[in-house]
Structure 1
Amino acid sequence: MSIEELAEHLDVSAVTIRFWIRSGKDIPAVRIGRQWRFKIEDADEWIQSGRSNFSG
């Protein structure tokens, strides 16, 4: 999924997702060219593990 799709799924802004990427929050993402892609399962696990410091 894209940054925008993940932002909608997590109910945050796309700017927040980009901030997490830049700030080294270890968000599970893959860069393909200039685009970031995410697996919804990995993002959900990342949130639930507490590594994100995000309470959803």
Structure 2
Amino acid sequence: MSEKNIEKWSTLKEVQEYLGVGRETVLQWIAKRNMPAYKVGRLWKFKLSEVDDWIRSGGAADNSDSMDSD
């Protein structure tokens, strides 16, 4: 198996930097918008290709379900 075909797992911090959003935003997207994320022990792990697909499909789109705090 070629290592070139294996996508590495990304951390929550890496996803925050990749998308330019805060930690709470990512956690809210996981909880309320089905952002693709995997719990490994206490840590969240991501595949950036899956995050990209989720964003392209409108997963992070701002709609009537506001992400504002109460």
Q: CA deviation at 1:27?
A: 0.3
Provide the C-alpha distance between the structure 1 equivalents of 2:43 and 2:25, rounded to a whole number of angstroms. Answer: 16
For structure 1, which runs of at least 5 residues remain unmatched after alignment?
none
Computed over aligned residues only, the root mean square deviation of the Cα atoms, in angstroms, reads 1.3
Percent identity at matched positions? 36
Provide the C-alpha distance between the structure 2 equivalents of 1:27 and 1:7, rounded to a whole number of angstroms. Answer: 13
Provide the C-alpha distance between the structure 2 equivalents of 1:16 and 1:52, rounded to a whole number of angstroms. Answer: 10
Q: CA deviation at 1:52?
A: 2.4
Give the TM-score normalised by the residue count of structure 2.
Answer: 0.68
Q: What is the letter of the counterpart of residue 23 of structure 2?
A: A
Query: 1:9 matched to which residue of 2?
Result: 18
Q: What is the letter of the counterpart of residue 35 of structure 2?
A: I
For structure 2, which runs of at least 5 residues remain unmatched after alignment?
1-9, 63-70
Computing the radius of gyration over CA atoms, which structure comes out larger, 1 or 2?
A: 2
Report the count of equivalent residues.
53
Provide the C-alpha distance between the structure 2 equivalents of 1:19 and 1:51, rounded to a whole number of angstroms. Answer: 12
